[in-house]
Amino acid sequence: MSFLVAPLLALFVAPPQGYPQEKTPEEVGIGYDILVCRMPADPGDPEPLVPDAANFSLLVGRGTQLVLVRPDGTEDLLYDPGPVAACADPFLSFDGRVLYFTLFEDPENLDEETGLPASPAHIWKLELDTRELTPLTTGQEVRYGDTRHGVAPSYAQLNVAPIELPDGRLMFLSNLDGAHGAYHANGLWWPAMKFWRMTADGSNLEALERFSMGGSQSPMILTDGRVIWTHYHPAGRRQTGGGNYPLFEADQDMRRVGTFAGAHFIGTAWHFTTQLSDGDVVTTAYYHHNNFGHGTLLRFPADPGHASGNAFTPAASDPDPEQANVYGVNDHFNRVGERLVTPWSLGWDTPSLGYDTGSRFLNDGTLAGKSTMPAGIPGGHMLFVWSSGFVNRLQRPIAEAPHMKLCYAQDGMVANRNDLIILKQSDSWHYLYPKAVVPYRDIYGQEKPDLRLSEDQSSTLPVLLPEGTPFATTGTSSVLNRESAWPEAFLDEWDADSARSYGQIMAYNRVGQDTCFFDDQEVYAVQVVADMEHVDTRAKRNLPGFRSHNLGTQIWGILGEVPVENLDEFGQPIFDSMGNLDTSFEARIPANVPYHHRLIDKDGITLTGEYTWLNARPGERKTHCGGCHAHSTDVIHLPFDDAVANQPNYPREDLALQTPLVGQDDQGQPFLTYHQEKIRVVEFYRDVKPIFEAKCNSCHSGSQAAAGLDLADPDAVTHLAFHDESLWAYHQATRYVRKNSAAQSLLAWKVYGRRLDRRDNADRPDDVDFTGTIMPPPNSGQDPLTFEEKRTIANWIDLGCLTDMTPGTEAMGDPFDDQMKPTLLLSGVRPGDQTLPVPPLRIGVYDLHSGIQADSLKVFLIDSDGQSSSDLASGMQVADGDVVSLSLPATRNNRWHVIQAQVLDQAGNRAIQELRFRPVDPPILSQGPFVLGQSTFLKVVNAQPGRRVDFLLSFQGMGVGSSHTRYGHQRLGLLEPVQWIGSRYTDAAGMAEYQLIVPPGFQTGTVWTQAMVVSGPSGEDSISTQVLESQILP
């Protein structure tokens, strides 16, 4: 042992005076049980498997148990999975009676390709009273049948991180769709963990999104109903070692996705998030991978502080030193009101320090340790996990793994390390994922979070978005109300010395920025870019079949381009309410396809890159953002309602069945050209090389090639786009190509005949200069490049220089290998209880890549005895974008039925969807007279026994009540805002009655009433009664 290490370790033999106190829960006022995951601790293990953003929270040690810590500090083993399996991700139901959790069959049996469990993980349910266990998901592997290549790669099925939703369904994360995610810095392929939803009995699995290209993890739900999670988005080069993991938010159906908070500092995760009783959010901020998921705890309001409603504010250039461990040169957006809960606990990639950041030790000689996994509990207090020691895997000066202790924070704050109180610690165990075993109302004062389901907006555009459509729209009120410009602190962001600095190049690579300096007047159109997703890990097994500046993990293509110069009938500019030119737009796109926006000029050159994948749900009008990157500008959010693009006569472009692209006439005036392809993918050998062969190779070939550039060389693409990266500034791939930026690339300058970055050669002495003339040169005997040829070369650069490594073949994993499953949507019939008569089934189909096989749709109805109908879609022909309607055969009342549907694309990829439902008679509502000051009743009959019934009321002139978010009036068919007045449960005969007194102060007039009968075994949906209308009598 070294002389340095020995005295450091000696510090932990006997904790000095002032070390955090250890108390029982009841000694700090906790009179309820605390649930923890208890993981075996091995003091000699330098690399314990603990959840971390870098492993997508998919690693945990064998033998991790579920344990109740009693108020007196004793422990009660709730569930022991055995020495090999492990429990994780506990979530307590809102009534405090049911525990949902992840069970890893063997978390230490790791796949050599992914570095993650090779054995499955599944969602289980545990009844706390009876300790009855029920598996909710099953299956050993994810298998993706590739009929085109005759292979069926498979890997462990991972279903993790369940959370209960207010409607009784469960949301969880899974790799069920087979998509691989990021190529991580350690050389492994991660699965893309995406959001799924199911009913509480495990049926009606539904994929909620396709935008999680790198993976999501650790979801939680706020009191206002927003789902918050830690997100990893690989786009461009964001997925390499310094990748960030911010917090994202969405509604409970994964609509209205947006950034919630944080993680702009290099390599930072904001992870393990909770909410306190006062509504504040607490999360763990840390440098992922090296800190074992530990760092500092950061707190901020769930609702923004700006009057404008914006949640972010520009970061201070010189932050408080005590806050410095979560900030960096890239952290130019701060969450409004954020403050450190544990300022002594560092999130940097360093060993733990003392409260005095200039010293490694506290005044009593102990290391400060690091914190993680906060959990809100009653009274505004907080549980969390704290580990003493260095808590860092690197030799600085020694590597020391965490020892995880259950701790308590009075009022959710621990200003000094010694103020924390240890509730449980053991030499034999780590304590993870603490939860208070109490009903939700005991912490937050309400029965459950608000129901937050966005309205399907397809009815507002019935032609573009028919009911059951596989399409959506994307748009915004302004592309000028954005924050994509470089922060002033970067000075010259394209300066070579600046770009070589690791700390100052990450904003472009990880956030998305302007590609050059430009004026807003130069913005001509929005370009919508989608990813041609590869859906399994075969690319790793067989070596990648393509390369690009997306590090071989993605294939970008253009869905289309939409001009944003909105003019009035006289050809004059229209201005928005902020005084800017109205640059709103809306266009139809495929639903459930990852996409992002870019701004382009009239030459088609990318001006602004957006590096966060978006996703639109079927029927969604995704137009709510109010401006690109409008995070911290303290201005009024610009609503889409007043935008030109929201007007009925606005010409919405179709980017789902065709690809509109900007062209130019002979005078250089832009216009839209339309192409029947559904996406424009630009690849070197297919699209770019033929241009060189026709118009460039006569000069640029052989040993005497002009400028030494031999475009006829079989390996010309390497010299153009992939060679000598180390000799140039960080963004510069070669002398000819700046990564993902034609505006900064010499190759594009030469084909356009000028610099495209709005600079002169003299502006910057150490970069590539533009000299000579346009290529091909005038009077060279070669025809000039057409505008379309120039754009092809520029698009190739802007989209990452996609290059097929096996040109001319259909090799597995090459860029033209269709691995995307088609979209298959079932609607019309309600999952769970479906009131009679059963409506027709609507089926929407679409495939972005090769297209739908016309005769491949098959639909079967299977009854509760397992008897299947014949193919209900026999002889039916379908095409991309079709929504077809099928009448179902006769069904049996109160018996479960399953609809099974499948469809193929031209490449043989198969989509399968199931819908489980039970036909039931509709409930009937009756009521007594409404007389001021007198008692009346609302009664529901003909419902299922034991179901909750929510009684609703609305009257003329009524304001929006607190329950308006629970039941939107459009959903109920009421004309006024809706107020929930109370709930009752149905008796054995299916009847529920609610008594109320009409207040004397009510005004006379019309009153509407309705009841919602919660459907399904755990309330995954609701069945509405008829609406009754009556008069309030004096």
The percentage of the chain sitting over the pLDDT mark of 90, rounded to a whole number, equals 49
Q: How high is the pLDDT of residue 508?
A: 47
Q: What's the mean pLDDT in 991-1002?
A: 84
Q: Residue 793 in contact with residue 821, Cβ under 8 Å?
A: no
- Which amino acid would we find at residue 356? D
pLDDT at 255 over 50: yes
Query: Is the pLDDT confidence value at 590 over 90?
Result: yes
Range with the lowest mean pLDDT among 121-130, 423-432, 1000-1009? Answer: 1000-1009
Whether the bond into 776 is cis, omega within 30 of 0: yes
Read off the pLDDT of each residue in 742-765 and give the average, rounded to a whole number: 90
Confidence of residue 608 (pLDDT cuts 50, 70, 90): confident
What whole-number distance in Å separates Cα of residue 247 and Cα of residue 239?
16
**Lowest-pLDDT range, 8-12, 38-42, 285-289, 471-475?**
8-12
* CA–CA distance, 494 with 980 (Å, rounded to integer): 57
For 626-657, the pLDDT digits (tens) are: 555 444 444 457 888 889 999 989 999 999 99
Confidence band of 309 (pLDDT split at 50, 70, 90): low
Query: Mean pLDDT across the stretch 52-67?
Result: 94
Burial of 482: CB neighbours in 10 Å, binned 0-12, 13-18, 19+: buried
Q: What is the mean pLDDT of residues 517-533?
A: 89
Structure tokens at 1016: 């399904």
Q: Is the per-residue pLDDT at 975 higher than 50?
A: no
The pLDDT, as a whole number, for residue 538 is 44
Nearest to 421 by CA among 28, 74, 67: 28
pLDDT value of position 594? 86
Is the predicted pLDDT of residue 503 greater than 50, yes or no?
no
Q: How far apart are alpha carbons 9 and 3 in whole angstroms? A: 11
**Residue 429, beta-bridge partner list:** 40
Task: Evaluate if residue 946 carries a pLDDT over 80.
Answer: no
Cα dihedral 417, 419, 423, 425 in deg (nearest 10): 30
pLDDT at 264: 55
State what percent of residues in the chain have pLDDT above 70. 78
Taking alpha carbons only, the member of 719, 759, 760 closest to residue 736 is 719
Reported as half-sphere exposure (CB side, CA atoms, 13 A), residue 279 has a value of 11
731: left (phi over 0), alpha (psi -120 to 50) or beta: alpha
CATH class of 5-444: mainly beta
Please tell me if the domain spanning 823-920 has the same topology as the one spanning 924-1033: no
- Say if residues 1025 and 836 touch (Cβ distance below 8 Å): no
Name the amino acid, one letter, at 430.
H
Q: What is the DSSP string of 802-858?
A: -EESSTTS--TTSTT---PPPEEEEESSPSEEEESSPPPEEEEEE-SSS-B-TT--E
**Strand residue runs (E) in 497-593:** 525-531, 546-547, 556-563, 585-590
Residue 792 burial (CB count, 10 A)? 19
pLDDT at 630: 42
Q: Work out the average pLDDT over 597-609.
A: 92
Residue 113 contacts residue 540 (beta carbons within 8 Å): yes
What is residue 11's predicted lDDT score, i.e. its pLDDT? Answer: 32
Give the model's pLDDT for residue 847.
96
- Domain 823-920 adopts which CATH fold? Immunoglobulin-like (2.60.40)
> How much is the average pLDDT of 500-507?
42
**Predicted confidence (pLDDT) at residue 288 exceeds the cutoff of 70:** yes
Question: What confidence tens digit (pLDDT) does each residue in 323-373 have?
Answer: 444 443 334 456 777 888 998 888 878 888 754 445 556 666 678 899 999
**Winning range, highest mean pLDDT, from 178-187, 208-217, 378-387:** 378-387
Q: 490's torsion region: left (phi>0), alpha (psi -120 to 50) or beta?
A: alpha
pLDDT score at 724: 60
CA distances from 169 to 136, 138, 162, 721, 912 (A): 12, 17, 10, 49, 21
Residue scoring higher pLDDT (997 or 694): 694
User: In one letter, which amino acid is 634?
Assistant: D
Distance separating alpha carbons of residues 387 and 983, to the nearest angstrom: 45
Please give the full DSSP string across 478-516, using - where no structure is assigned: -SSS---SPPGGGSSTT-HHHHHSGGGSHHHHHT--BSS
Q: Tell me what pLDDT residue 266 has.
A: 63
Q: How far apart are CA 257 and CA 272, in angstroms?
A: 19
Which residue in the block uniquely carries the two structure tokens 């950061």? Answer: 298
Nearest to 55 by CA among 16, 88, 11: 88
Q: What is the pLDDT of residue 190?
A: 64
Q: Determine whether domain 924-1033 maps to CATH 2.20.130.20.
A: yes
Q: Give the H/E segment covering residue 1007.
A: strand 1005-1015
What is the arrangement of strands in the sheet containing 823-827, beginning at the earlier edge strand? Answer: 823-827, 841-846, 883-886
Pick the more confident residue, 1006 or 730: 1006
419 token code pair: 């103020």
* pLDDT tens digit sequence for 132-187: 999 999 987 776 555 555 555 567 899 999 999 988 899 999 988 776 655 444 44
- Which residues partner with 623 through β-bridges? none
**Which segment of 24-33, 250-259, 429-438, 500-509 scores lowest on mean pLDDT?**
500-509
**Model pTM?**
0.87
pLDDT reported for residue 359: 56
- Each domain of the chain, given as residue ranges in start order, spans 5-444, 458-804, 823-920, 924-1033
The 3-class SS string of 319-369 reads: CCHHHHHHCCCCCCEEECCCEECCCCCCCCCCCCCCCCCCCCCCCCCCCCC
Question: Could you tell me how far CA 142 lies from the centroid of its own chain?
Answer: 21
Q: Is the pLDDT of residue 756 over 70?
A: yes
Q: Which of 162-166, 181-185, 523-527, 1022-1026 has the lowest mean pLDDT?
A: 181-185
d(Cα 548, Cα 739) in Å, to the nearest integer? Answer: 9
The dihedral sign for the CA sequence 904, 908, 909, 913:
positive
> Which of helix, strand or coil describes residue 701?
coil
The answer to whether 407 and 64 are in contact (CB under 8 A) is: no
The sign one gets for the Cα dihedral 796, 798, 804, 810 is negative
Q: 400-404: list long-range contacts, CB under 8 Å, 24+ apart.
A: 400/46, 400/351, 401/45, 401/46, 401/47, 401/48, 401/292, 402/48, 402/50, 402/292, 402/294, 402/370, 402/430, 403/41, 403/43, 403/430, 404/39, 404/41, 404/50, 404/372, 404/430, 404/431, 404/432
| Most confident segment among 737-746, 749-758, 814-823 | 749-758
Give residue 967's pLDDT band: very low, low, confident or very high (50, 70, 90).
very low
Per residue, the 3-state secondary structure of 607-641, as one string, reads EEECCCCECCCCCCEECCCCCCCCCCCCCCCCCCC
Measuring CA to CA, which residue among 916, 853, 840 is closest to residue 884?
A: 840
Residue 258: is it exposed, middle or buried by C-beta count within 10 angstroms (0-12/13-18/19+)?
A: middle
Residue 832 or 510, more confident: 832
- Please tell me which of 87-91, 282-286, 997-1001 the model is most confident about, judged by mean pLDDT: 87-91
Q: How confident is the model at residue 552 (pLDDT cuts 50, 70, 90)?
A: low
CA-to-CA separations, 1021 to 44, 169, 437, 833, in angstroms, rounded = 50, 8, 26, 8
Q: Give me the pLDDT at residue 145, please.
A: 52
Mean pLDDT, residues 73-84: 98
Q: How far apart are CA 563 and CA 580, in angstroms?
A: 16
Residues 818-860: pLDDT tens digits? Answer: 878 899 999 999 888 888 899 999 999 999 999 999 999 999 9
Coarse DSSP helix, strand, coil percentages of the chain, rounded to the nearest 5 percent: 10, 30, 55
Cα distances from 688 to residues 710, 714, 752, 898, in angstroms, run: 15, 14, 15, 50
Q: What is the mean pLDDT of the chain?
A: 82
Residue among 160, 277, 158 nearest 230 (CA): 160
Give the model's pLDDT for residue 494.
45
Q: Please tell me the distance from the alpha carbon of residue 705 to that of residue 792, in angstroms, as a whole number.
A: 23
**Which range has highest mean pLDDT (494-503, 670-679, 725-734)?**
670-679
pLDDT confidence of residue 344? 85
User: According to the model, what pLDDT value does residue 544 have?
Assistant: 57
